[in-house]
């Protein structure tokens, strides 16, 4: 048994959602519903749901008349215990301008003793504060929660602010819901307990009349999500990321090329043999080797290599390739030719027209156009040679065979 307030601008599906979320479950349970929602009737409910329990009933009060509004103001005099009460446009039914003298006129006739005898609340405030005693559930809707009386808000468990989502609301019946404490207005992000996009139960529209004319017009105030700059920015970022992935040919998205044939062909053409049996240990940073070594900064191409993006031929056909490990988290490729050694990371390789696919920490493929080279763990420094069981003479013999 609870009291909730649903508020939001016109066209935010406050009434429709109240029917779909509260009224329909109530009538399916065989409960009595008291409401001023236009068009709701017992007959209409049975036409929509023929198998409803016989105990279900609808008590409709027309609050467009003075008599009906006064009758609804005294709801606690006559509402059946256990009923669901839905007060649509509650700020008009229970004006905030009421003073204590106005509330006193609503007291139960006969006073406290008579109210106790009839098992009824004796006054307005007690009706809201002790609604659980009579198993009443109360739902109030209003365009602006600020217009709801404080004595009602102070007894309300939770409030929900609903917002129209433009074409998404008009075409799909969806709206944004912000849950917040009823003592707050729910307009700032700090007020929100939760936010979600919900869809109205389509059966709700068959149970009530949203307008007196029967003509329903979508809200013109809502904005399409596709016109929201934040949404457009997000879509732009996603498209840019997708384009980059496709352009880079990342194996996780585009799959790795079948390079078995190309690798064999490349090896036959160059006569190079690359072998290694050691998986790199904790020491992954490339070392400075004896002989003529070219140190290559990460932001500059080595001398004698092609200009970025325009490789004419495979520039590494005459190089022995190896993977000495990583540097600052970037995979390093060691290219050796005679006594010269250069190091390149994946970024520089890409700028030169190459794509490197890492199979694991030791093995990878270097692809240029339709050719692929197998790259394995290698190094010429003494520590690595000992670990790999190789010697300088072994390396020279491999190089001389090329």
Mean pLDDT over the full length of the chain: 77
Which pLDDT tens digit goes with each residue over 112-151? 999 999 999 999 999 999 999 999 999 999 999 999 999 9
Q: What is the pTM of this model?
A: 0.55
Q: Give Cα 153 distance to the centre of its chain.
A: 31
Answer whether residue 1 shows pLDDT above 80.
no
Q: Residue 197 — φ and ψ, nearest 5°?
A: -105, 125
Contact call for residues 85 and 75 (beta carbons, < 8 A): yes
Number of C-beta neighbours around residue 70 at 10 A: 12
pLDDT of amino acid 297: 39
- Strand 3-7 and strand 137-142: the pairing is parallel
pLDDT of amino acid 239: 84
CA-CA distance, 198 to 215, in Å (whole number)?
A: 24
Among 105-114, 310-319, 328-337, the minimum mean pLDDT is found in: 310-319
Which pLDDT tens digit goes with each residue over 205-242? 999 997 654 444 444 445 555 666 777 788 888 888 88
pLDDT of amino acid 221: 47
Answer whether residue 176 shows pLDDT above 60.
yes
Spell out the CATH class of 3-222: alpha beta
Answer whether residue 28 shows pLDDT above 90.
yes
Q: Is 157 helix (H, G, I), strand (E, B) or coil?
A: coil
State the average pLDDT over residues 27-31: 97
pLDDT of amino acid 241: 82
171-184: b (≥16 Cβ within 10 Å) or e: eebbbbbbbbebeb
Among 37-51, 213-227, 269-283, the minimum mean pLDDT is found in: 269-283
Tokens of 189: 């992000």
Which pLDDT tens digit goes with each residue over 289-299? 433 333 443 33
pLDDT of amino acid 335: 79
- Which sequence spans correspond to the domains of the chain? 3-222, 228-257, 258-401
CA-CA distance, 59 to 6, in Å (whole number)?
A: 21
In this predicted model, which residue has the larger pLDDT, 41 or 347?
41
pLDDT of amino acid 272: 46
The contacts of residue 70 (CB under 8 Å, 6+ apart) are: none
Which pLDDT tens digit goes with each residue over 144-167? 999 999 999 999 999 999 998 765
Which pLDDT tens digit goes with each residue over 326-350? 666 667 777 777 777 777 777 777 7
Q: Is 109 exposed, middle or buried (0-12, 13-18, 19+ CB in 10 A)?
A: exposed
Answer whether residue 400 shows pLDDT above 60.
no
Among 32-46, 58-72, 105-119, 225-239, the minimum mean pLDDT is found in: 225-239
Contact call for residues 336 and 380 (beta carbons, < 8 A): yes
Residue 301: DSSP 8-state: P
pLDDT of amino acid 170: 63
Among 86-90, 165-169, 304-308, 344-348, the minimum mean pLDDT is found in: 304-308
Number of C-beta neighbours around residue 139 at 10 A: 24
pLDDT of amino acid 313: 54
Tokens of 336: 């050796």
401: nearest Cα among 275, 272, 276? 272
Which pLDDT tens digit goes with each residue over 258-272? 444 444 444 444 444
What percent of the chain stands above pLDDT 70? 67
pLDDT of amino acid 212: 53
DSSP string, 205-241: GGSS-SSSSS-----SS---GGG-HHHHHHHHHHHHH
Contact call for residues 41 and 60 (beta carbons, < 8 A): yes
Q: Left, alpha or beta for 138 (phi > 0: left; psi -120 to 50: alpha)?
A: beta
């Amino acid at each position: 048994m609870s009291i909730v307030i649903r508020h939001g601008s016109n066209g935010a599906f406050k009434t429709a959602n109240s029917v779909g979320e509260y009224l329909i479950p109530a009538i399916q349970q065989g409960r009595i519903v008291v409401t001023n929602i236009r068009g709701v009737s017992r007959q209409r409910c049975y036409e929509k749901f023929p198998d409803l329990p016989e105990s279900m009933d609808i008590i409709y009060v027309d609050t467009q008349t003075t008599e009906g509004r006064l009758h609804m103001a005294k709801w606690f005099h006559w509402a059946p215990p256990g009923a669901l009460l839905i007060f649509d446009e509650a700020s008009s039914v229970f004006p905030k301008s009421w003073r204590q003298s106005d509330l006193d006129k609503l007291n139960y006739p006969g006073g406290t003793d008579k109210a106790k005898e009839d098992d009824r609340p004796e006054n307005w405030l007690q009706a809201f504060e002790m609604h659980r005693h009579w198993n009443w559930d109360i739902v109030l809707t209003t365009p602006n929660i600020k217009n709801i009386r404080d004595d009602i808000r102070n007894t309300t468990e939770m409030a929900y602010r609903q917002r129209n989502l433009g074409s998404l609301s008009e075409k799909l019946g969806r709206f944004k819901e912000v849950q917040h404490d009823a003592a707050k207005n729910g307009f700032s992000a700090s007020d929100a307990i939760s936010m979600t996009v919900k869809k109205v139960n389509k059966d709700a529209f068959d149970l009530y009349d949203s307008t007196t004319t029967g003509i329903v017009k979508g809200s013109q105030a809502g904005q399409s999500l596709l016109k929201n700059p934040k949404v457009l920015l997000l879509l732009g970022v996603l498209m840019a990321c997708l384009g980059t992935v496709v352009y880079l040919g990342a194996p996780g998205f585009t799959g790795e090329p079948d390079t078995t044939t190309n690798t064999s062909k490349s090896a036959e053409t160059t006569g190079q043999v690359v072998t290694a049996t050691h998986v790199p240990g904790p020491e992954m940073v490339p070392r400075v080797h004896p002989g003529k070594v070219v140190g290559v900064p990460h932001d500059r191409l080595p001398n004698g290599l092609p200009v970025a993006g325009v490789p004419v031929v495979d520039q590494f056909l005459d190089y022995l390739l190896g993977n000495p490990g990583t540097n600052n988290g970037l995979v390093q490729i060691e290219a050796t030719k005679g006594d010269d050694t250069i190091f390149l990371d994946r970024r520089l390789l890409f700028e030169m027209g190459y794509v490197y696919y890492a199979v694991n920490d030791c093995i990878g493929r270097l692809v240029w156009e339709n050719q692929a080279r197998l790259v394995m763990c290698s190094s010429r420094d003494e520590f690595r040679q000992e670990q790999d069981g190789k010697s300088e003479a072994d390396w020279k013999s491999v190089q001389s065979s090329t």
